[in-house]
Amino acid sequence: MRRPCTAETRLYALLGDPVSHSLSPVIQNAAIDAAAVDGIYLALRCGQGELAGLLRGIALAGGGGNVTLPHKEAAAALVDERSAAVRRTGACNTFWLEDSVIHGDNTDVAGFLRALAAIGGGSPSGARVLLLGAGGAARAVLAALMDEGADQVLVLNRTLSRAQAVATRVGDQRVRVVPSPDQLADESVDIVVNTTSLGLSPDDPLPLDLGLLSHIGALLDLAYGLHEPPLVTAARQRGIPCADGMEMLVAQGAASFEKWWRREAPLDAMRAALRQALARRSAPAAD
C-alpha cells in the first residue's frame, strides 16, 4: 500500500526523452515504499529547453532525481557541485539538494562496480579488462576501471575515433584502443564488459565472437530486457560466469537513492520490483 502524498512529500523525477520505457519509477517507488520514506518518483519527458528549469526547480524544492539520454552531459553543466565521477565522465545522472547547493553525481560509475561485485566478477583491481563500446556508459565503466586500479583496459568500438576519444578523455597509459576484433586473437582477459547497444533485442548480432579470445574470467553485459542478451547466452554456453545489466540498473538506482535519502537502499525490494515489472511486460495482454 502506497502511503498517501502529503505537503511533506518530496518529488524525485527522471528527466529525459524518451522516458516512457524506463523502469526507474518502478524501482525507486518500490524503494521508497520499502524504506517508508515520504517521496514519490515520476518520469517526466523533457526537452533540452525545459531541462534547466525542471532540474533546478525540483532540486530547490527539496527533491532531486535522475537524468537520462539525451541530457546527461547538459545536466553536468547545470548542477552547482559536481562529484568526481561527473568531472571524470562529463555526465550527470543524479541530482539533489544538500546544504542549499544542487549536487550532481554519475551513479553509473558506482553502479557498475557494485554490479560487478554482486555477480561475482570481483574487483577490477589488477584486472585485464576488455571494454566493448565507447558511448556514455563506456565512459562511466572506464572511469570506474581506472579508479579501481585495473591493470590494463582494451577498448574495442565500431567507430575507432570514438574509442580513441573515450580513452583520451577518461583513460591513461593503461588503456589500449584495439582497432579491430582480429587483434584480440588469443588474448586472455579477466573481465569483458559490453557497453554497446547490441543486446537489447534478441536478434542483435554479437558485439564480439568470444571464441577469438583464449580466456575470459567473467562477463558483464549492460544490456537488459525481457530476453537474455545474446552475448550473455554465448558466455553462459562457454561456461563463463556472466550477467546482464539488470543488477547494474538496480545498483546505480540504489546509489542514487542513497544520495537522496542518506540511508541504505532496500536492494531486495528494488530487485523484486524490477523482476515483476519485466514479467508483466513479457506477459500476453489479458484484453
**178 secondary structure, DSSP code:** -
Sign for the CA dihedral angle at 215, 218, 221, 226 comes to positive
Binding segment toward ligand NAP, per CB under 6 A, in 22-30, 118-126, 157-165, 208-216: 157-165
Of residues 202-231, those binding ligand NAP (CB under 6 A): 207, 222-224
Active site residue 72: yes
Binding segment toward ligand NAP, per CB under 6 A, in 76-84, 182-190, 196-204, 276-284: 196-204
Site membership for ligand NAP, residue 134 (CB under 6 A): yes
Site membership for ligand NAP, residue 266 (CB under 6 A): no
Asked whether the beta carbons of 33 and 269 are under 8 A apart, the reply is yes
| Closer residue to ligand NAP in complex, CB, 196/256 | 196
Pick from 15, 32, 218, 248 the residue near ligand NAP by CB under 6 A: 248
Of residues 94-133, those binding ligand NAP (CB under 6 A): 108, 111, 133
Site membership for ligand NAP, residue 275 (CB under 6 A): no
Torsion of CA 52, 56, 57, 63, to 10 degrees: 140
The grid coordinates of residue 274 equal 524490477
Site membership for ligand NAP, residue 198 (CB under 6 A): yes
Pick from 22, 152, 164, 197 the residue near ligand NAP by CB under 6 A: 197
| Closer residue to ligand NAP in complex, CB, 29/157 | 157
Based on C-alpha coordinates, what's the Rg of the chain?
Answer: 19
Could you tell me which residues come within 8 angstroms of residue 113 by beta carbon, excluding any fewer than 6 positions away? Answer: 123, 124, 144, 148
Asked whether the beta carbons of 2 and 30 are under 8 A apart, the reply is no
Could you tell me which residues come within 8 angstroms of residue 279 by beta carbon, excluding any fewer than 6 positions away? Answer: none
SS3 (DSSP) at 211: helix
For ligand NAP, the binding residues (CB under 6 A) are: 108, 111, 133-138, 157-159, 162, 195-198, 200, 207, 222-224, 245, 248-249, 252
Report, as residue numbers or ranges, the catalytic residues.
72
